[in-house]
Amino acid sequence: MSGATIFHLLPQGPRPVAPFSHAVEAAGWVVLTGQMPTDPEAPDAPLPEGIAAQTERVMRNLEIVLKGVGLGLEHVVQCRCYLTRFDRDYAEFNETYETFFAPGRLPARTTVGVSGLAVGALVEIDCLARRPE
- In single-letter form, the type of residue at position 107 comes to P
Residue 1 scores a pLDDT above 50: no
pTM above 0.85, yes or no: yes
pLDDT band, residue 2 (cuts 50/70/90):
low
Per residue in 49-93, pLDDT tens?
Answer: 999 999 999 999 999 999 999 999 999 999 999 999 999 999 999
CA atoms within 13 A on the CB side of 27: 0
CB proximity list for 68: less than 8 A, separation 6 or greater: 8, 10, 12, 13, 22, 23
C-alpha 1 chain-centroid distance: 24
Tell me how far apart the alpha carbons of residues 60 and 40 are, in angstroms, rounded to a whole number: 10
